[in-house]
């Protein structure tokens, strides 16, 4: 019993003190993972805010956008032109979703819209495999002028390795979030988006076009998906198994709140860093491999005490 308590409350902290450089490495890796989880979660938040839909297709949008970019480049299209065309493809996707799905399902229960996004997921999987094949593809990292290689920091004779692509991911994610924040707060369309998020009926009554807003929202989520696809792809290639990682955004959303952009970021970082620390220092107690479910434990605890998440709006149902 004593040894068990020591292995839970003592040994992990002793290890942290004995190898501070390794602790820093763990925290850095968790930070980068958290940033990437936050990016994926951000796509969910944008659509949920504007339409109340949990977009199950966000994960495959990450893969689809990444595959489109790489696939176009394989056809001989220069990298930045391929990037521009991919943005166009994501706009067409947003427009098609609004025209073919959302418009026809207005006023349907949320669960119907959720099911529609599951259908959309499968359509995009099939379409992606039909067009690009199922093989793993390398992200065009250098062609997009993204940095490769690594830098080493040796604090007190230790070793902390920083991959340049990870640093770039953190910077680009931060810039994207600032751009989205400015877009929401400073532009007319952004204010309309916020109005729609607050109250659909009231927005309609002052002349805001819901259809137009939905296209913009899905396009914004598409841009976020493309950035997430490039960054994940640069770390570990683009393949269809990448869409499963999007499920990691679920505990992030529970933690941060489904309607909060800052919540997605803070939630992503807590999940990213938390799961790495627990996997490395407490994982051996459970036979390792706890990373896959630990995030959901954190989310469940938050769900019990704060169902709306850290930054989510308090749920008030008037009867």
Partner 1 sequence: MYKKIITGAVATAVAVATFVSTAHAEDTLYIPALSYRTGAFAGGGTPFANGFMDYLAMLNARDGGIGGVKIVNEECETAYNAQKGVECYEATKGNGALVYNPLSTGITLQLIPKAPVDEIPVLSMGYGLSAAGIGEKFPWTFTYPTSYWSQMSSILKYIDSNGGLKGQKIGFIYLDVGYGREPIPLLEKLAPQLGFEVAMFPVAGKEMQAQSAQWLNVRKERPDWMIMWGWGSMNPTAIKEAAKIRYPMDRFIGNWWSSAHADLVPVGEAGKGYVGANFSGIGTDFQALQDVIKYVIEPGNTRTDPSKVGDVLYNRGLYNAVIVAEAVETAQKMTGKSAISGADMRLGLENFNLDATRLAELGLAGFAGDLKGDCVDHEGGGPVFMQQWDGENWVKITDPIAPMSDVVRPLLEAAADAYVADKPEWKTQTCN
The tokens for 23 are: 């602790």
Q: How far is the CB of 307 from partner 1 (least distance, A)?
A: 25
- Residue (82 or 192) nearer to partner 1, CB: 82
Give the DSSP letter string of 163-177: EHHHHHHHHHHHHHH
Nearer to partner 1, 181 or 244 (CB): 244
For residue 274, which of 21, 34, 14, 113 has the smallest C-alpha distance? 34
Q: Which of 5, 182, 288, 301 binds partner 1 (CB under 8 A)?
A: 288
The answer to whether 147 and 163 are in contact (CB under 8 A) is no
Q: Is 236 in the site for partner 1 (CB under 8 A)?
A: yes
Minimum gap (Å) between residue 286 Cβ and partner 1: 11
Is residue 235 part of the contact set for partner 1 (CB under 8 A)? Answer: yes
Residue 313: how many CB atoms within 10 A of its CB? 14
The single residue among 43, 229, 274, 283 that binds partner 1, judged by CB under 8 A, is 283
Query: Minimal distance in Å, beta carbon 248 to partner 1?
Result: 8
**Residue-level length of the chain:** 319
Applying CB under 8 A, among 7, 96, 122, 150 the residue interacting with partner 1 is 150
Q: How far is the CB of 317 from partner 1 (least distance, A)?
A: 34
Of 28 and 214, the one with the shorter C-beta distance to partner 1 is: 28
Burial 235-268 (b: 16+ CB within 10 A, else e): bebbebebbebbebbbbbbbbbbbbbbebbbbbb
Q: How many CB atoms lie within 10 A of CB 88?
A: 11
218 near partner 1 (CB under 8 A): no
Q: Between 130 and 305, name the residue whose CB sits nearer to partner 1.
A: 130
Which residues on neighbouring strands pair with residue 169, listed in sequence order? none
Residues in 10-29 that interact with partner 1 by CB under 8 A: 22, 25-26, 29
Count of chain residues binding partner 1 (CB under 8 A): 38
Going by C-alpha positions, the residue among 16, 31, 46, 8 that lies closest to residue 225 is 46
Asked if 84 and 72 touch (Cβ cutoff 8 Å), the reply is no
Residue 164 binding partner 1, by CB under 8 A: no
**Is 73 or 248 the residue whose CB approaches partner 1 more closely?**
248
The tokens of 87 are what? 């943005």
Asked if 74 is part of the footprint of partner 1 (rule: CB under 8 A), the reply reads: no
Query: How far is residue 311's CA from residue 258's CA, in Å, rounded to a whole number?
Result: 9
The answer to whether 308 and 301 have CB atoms below 8 angstroms apart is no
Applying the rule CB under 8 A, the residues between 182 and 201 that interact with partner 1 are none
Binding flag, residue 96, partner 1 (CB under 8 A): no
138 binds partner 1 (CB under 8 A): yes
Which residues of the shown chain bind partner 1 in the complex (CB under 8 A)? 22, 25-26, 29, 32-33, 125, 129, 133-138, 150, 161, 163, 232, 235-237, 239-242, 244-245, 247-248, 275-276, 279-280, 283, 288-289, 291-292
């Amino acid at each position: 019993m004593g040894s068990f308590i020591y292995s839970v409350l003592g040994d992990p902290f002793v290890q942290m003190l004995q190898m501070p450089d390794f602790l820093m490495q763990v925290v850095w890796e968790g930070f980068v993972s958290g940033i990437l989880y936050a990016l994926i979660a951000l796509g969910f938040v944008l659509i949920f805010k504007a339409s109340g839909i949990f977009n199950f297709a966000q994960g495959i949008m990450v893969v689809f956008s990444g595959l489109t970019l790489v696939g176009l480049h394989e056809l001989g299209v220069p990298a930045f032109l391929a990037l521009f065309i991919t943005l166009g493809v994501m706009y067409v996707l947003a427009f098609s979703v609004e025209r073919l799905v959302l418009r026809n399902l207005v006023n349907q229960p949320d669960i119907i819209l959720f099911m529609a996004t599951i259908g959309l997921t499968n359509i995009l999987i099939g379409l992606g495999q039909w067009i690009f094949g199922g093989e793993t593809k390398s992200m065009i990292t250098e062609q997009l002028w993204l940095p490769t290689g690594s830098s080493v920091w040796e604090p007190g004779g230790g070793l902390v390795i920083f991959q340049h692509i990870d640093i770039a991911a953190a910077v680009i994610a931060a810039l994207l979030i600032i751009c989205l924040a400015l877009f929401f707060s400073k532009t007319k369309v952004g204010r309309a988006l916020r109005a729609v998020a607050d109250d659909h009926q009231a927005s309609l009554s002052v002349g805001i076009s819901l259809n137009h807003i939905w296209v913009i929202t899905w396009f914004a989520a598409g841009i976020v998906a493309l950035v997430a696809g490039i960054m994940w792809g640069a770390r570990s290639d683009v393949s269809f198994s990448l869409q499963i990682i999007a499920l990691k955004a679920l505990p992030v959303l529970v933690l941060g709140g489904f309607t909060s952009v800052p919540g997605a970021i803070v939630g992503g970082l807590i999940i990213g860093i938390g799961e790495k620390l627990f996997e490395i220092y407490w994982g051996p107690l459970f036979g390792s491999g706890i990373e896959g479910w630990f995030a959901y434990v954190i989310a469940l605890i938050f769900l019990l005490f704060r169902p709306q998440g850290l930054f989510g709006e308090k749920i008030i149902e008037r009867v």
